[in-house]
Amino acid sequence: MKPNPALGPSRRRRSSNTSRLTAAALLLISLLQPGLLRQAQAGDIEVLHWWTSGGEARAALALKASMQAKGHSWKDFAVAGSGGDSAITVLRSRVVSGNAPAAAQIKGPSLQAWAREGVLTSINEVARAERWDELLPQVVSDQMKYRGDYIAVPVNVHRVNWLWVNPAVFARTGAKVPNSWDEFFAAAETLKKAGVIALAHGGQSWQDLTLLETVAIGVGGADFYRKAFVLREAAELSGPTMEKVLTTYKRIKPYTDRNAPGRDWNLATAMVIKGEAAMQLMGDWAKGEFLAAGSLPGKGFICTPAPGTAKSFIYVVDSFAMFKLKNPANSAAQRDLASAVMSPEFQEAFNLSKGSIPVRLGLKMDRFDDCAKASALDFNAAAKSASLLPSIANGMAAPSAIEWALKDAVSQYWNSDKMSAAEAMKRMVEATRAK
């Protein structure tokens, strides 16, 4: 340590003794409580998401806890509702006003769109050090990169094409859990005659389209789904298979209830949990709701692939896009967030609550339930047989302008008593031209 020329000799000695003492004290503190010294570099970490339902909020808590354990202060930026539609609107206004959060729940092709605007930052430093390329399925790592740089970190894999069943309601009414659409309508009729709401539905446009994509893969198969929704070929969007899909879709409506319009998805799940409705067709974020309510798989609820979709897998990969930040401590916290999200501990804790499966390859599934184990097996099998498909309704398959236009067209068809399937197909083709 250099002597301080501004001090006299004795004060200088006292000063260097004091420094030695302070250094020793700091060393002791750091040995006893490693977290304390790191606080010096602690940053604020603000994360925008829409995980506000019971199961989602439990999962989001796992993220908060892991950041707090690293000494950072967590600023929750949750915007409820509508499969994230409201959250993205709020995010846009924050980014436009130069006040972006550290990270935001953005997924699929939207990641590229945000990156093109120049507002995202590279997290290659973390990704390279931790060898993410080897830890992620390539279909996922490709989507997390912009021009070769990681700009986002993936959290999970959700499967969309699930049917959630209340077995007590089925037992009471004598209905049989369906595997095909014919069986679905037979069960729905039995349930309806017994005075039960067969299908809990939330009439919001993203849920209307989630239901349609599930029917599409069940009726038309994986190849049809890919041509219609991923490649968006006009001939498939307006061909005979789509017509069959749309008429099957519309046949479901009489088995939903009058109060469906506007209902949130988790309230629809609550109807199945309480036995007010027998089934829900929804992604496995619904499982998070059953679990949060204390309902157990195989007992309180049953998960089974949506009719006709046992071999297919419509996926949603939730991810956090990383925004450019000005404060270096916050950037360091952001890198810690990226690293924490990919850690085996977080992947397990988060996904146990969320209803999804870890996106990181090779993790043990011991602590997961049978629905998650089946999902993991089906994910791998579908990846090998080209039946792994991105969800069009949940931000994975199309630029957001097209997705929104498709949601509108499909909701109009669902809600109208007069619109023909032919008219709906015309509107869907038009929607794919949205900019």
Q: Which parts of this chain interact with ligand GAL (CB under 6 A)?
A: 50-51, 56, 83-84, 158, 265, 285, 316, 318, 394
d(CA 329, CA 43): 5
- Residue 210 C-beta: closest distance to ligand GAL, Å: 9
When the beta carbons of 158 and 232 are compared against ligand GAL, the nearer one is 158
Give the residue from 303, 291, 298, 301 showing the smallest Cα distance to 353: 291
DSSP annotation of 146 reads E
When the beta carbons of 56 and 348 are compared against ligand GAL, the nearer one is 56
- Residue 260 C-beta: closest distance to ligand GAL, Å: 17
- Residue 107 C-beta: closest distance to ligand GAL, Å: 6
Q: Which helix (H) or strand (E) holds 425?
A: helix 421-431
When the beta carbons of 83 and 390 are compared against ligand GAL, the nearer one is 83
**Spatial contact of 174 and 183, defined as CB atoms under 8 Å apart:** no
SS3 content of the chain, % helix, strand, coil (to 5): 55, 15, 30
Q: Which helix (H) or strand (E) holds 225?
A: helix 205-225
When the beta carbons of 81 and 174 are compared against ligand GAL, the nearer one is 81
When the beta carbons of 56 and 213 are compared against ligand GAL, the nearer one is 56
**Spatial contact of 45 and 169, defined as CB atoms under 8 Å apart:** no
- Residue 83 C-beta: closest distance to ligand GAL, Å: 4
When the beta carbons of 184 and 265 are compared against ligand GAL, the nearer one is 265
Q: Is 61 exposed, middle or buried (0-12, 13-18, 19+ CB in 10 A)?
A: middle
- Residue 294 C-beta: closest distance to ligand GAL, Å: 20
When the beta carbons of 285 and 301 are compared against ligand GAL, the nearer one is 285
- Residue 104 C-beta: closest distance to ligand GAL, Å: 13
Range list of H helices, 275-420: 285-292, 328-342, 344-354, 370-384, 400-415
Residue with tokens 């004598």: 174
- Residue 368 C-beta: closest distance to ligand GAL, Å: 17
Range list of H helices, 256-367: 265-274, 285-292, 328-342, 344-354
Three-state SS for 4-25 is CCCCCHHHHHHHHHHHHHHHHH
